[in-house]
Amino acid sequence: MEQLLDLLDFGPFFDHFDTILEGFWATIRLAAAAAVLSLIIGTVLAAFRVSPIPVLRAVGTVYVNVLRNTPLTLVLLMCSLGLNDTLALTFSSDANTSYYWWAVLGLSGYTGAFVGESLRSGINTVPLGQAEAARSIGLTFSQSLRMIILPQAFRAVIAPLGSVFIAMIKNTTVAIAASYAEIATQMKSLVDLPSFASGTIPLFIGVAVGFMILTLPAGFFSGWLAKRMAVAR
């Protein structure tokens, strides 16, 4: 009994609450930037993949297939060790800032492939007649994509995009591979402290709850938005 209580000792967890909050703040900054950037990358990819220009279609297909089938850890290592360290392609003289942006870029590039695929499946739900009507009133291809097709495609895939973003938020933990110190990095360093001998399980529970605080609202929000924005046909 004594031992069991020891295992659930939340003392060390709250002793280092500041560090943990700091870690989560770093996670949120990474996730927020990656959400915006992956949405942009995904939209461009989806546009490429339905474009009438064969070269763009090919670029889109190759990109999606490469990024979707490469482990995220590898993508992030490539960004941090490969591009940042070895090739010295840095964003800033401050190493941490540079690692942050490489983590954002790697995570967005990876997530963008999934966003692009979701959107493309959304485009497939838009009846062909919508594009024909758009062309018949004189809209160009890019106008009809921007004003008619993509807005309807987005609305059709809000719920699946929610899942993509929840996965992305959890994937931020892999940014440890990009030398970016988010919550998983902090957690790992805390676990190694002698004072945490009895507090590891509470630490894991606390971090898991922290992630749910981020992901559950994301899920509820996307579900609510999907219903609200649904296109009636």
127 is an interface residue for another protein by CB under 8 A: yes
207 backbone φψ class: left, alpha, beta (φ>0; ψ -120 to 50): alpha
Q: How many CB atoms lie within 10 A of CB 160?
A: 18
201 is an interface residue for another protein by CB under 8 A: no
96 is an interface residue for another protein by CB under 8 A: no
Q: Which of 32, 167, 193, 231 binds another protein (CB under 8 A)?
A: 231
- Shortest gap between Cβ of 144 and another protein (angstroms)? 9
Q: Which of 5, 55, 137, 209 binds another protein (CB under 8 A)?
A: 137
55 is an interface residue for another protein by CB under 8 A: no
In order of 77, 106, 202, the CA distances from 81 in angstroms are: 5, 12, 33
232 is an interface residue for another protein by CB under 8 A: yes
In this structure, what token pair is assigned to residue 130? 């919508």
Query: What does the chain come to in residues?
Result: 233
Alpha helices in 78-199 (DSSP H): 95-125, 128-136, 141-144, 150-156, 158-171, 183-191
132 is an interface residue for another protein by CB under 8 A: yes
Residues in Cβ contact with 55 at an 8 Å cutoff, skipping those fewer than 6 apart: none
In terms of CB distance, is 146 or 170 closer to another protein?
146
Q: Which of 136, 192, 209, 228 binds another protein (CB under 8 A)?
A: 136
- Shortest gap between Cβ of 39 and another protein (angstroms)? 18
53 is an interface residue for another protein by CB under 8 A: no
In terms of CB distance, is 113 or 134 closer to another protein?
134
233 is an interface residue for another protein by CB under 8 A: yes
* Rounded-to-integer distance, Cα 192 and Cα 215, Å: 27
Q: How many CB atoms lie within 10 A of CB 54?
A: 8
> Can you give the binding site for another protein, defined by CB under 8 A?
127, 129-130, 132-140, 143, 147-148, 151-152, 155, 231-233
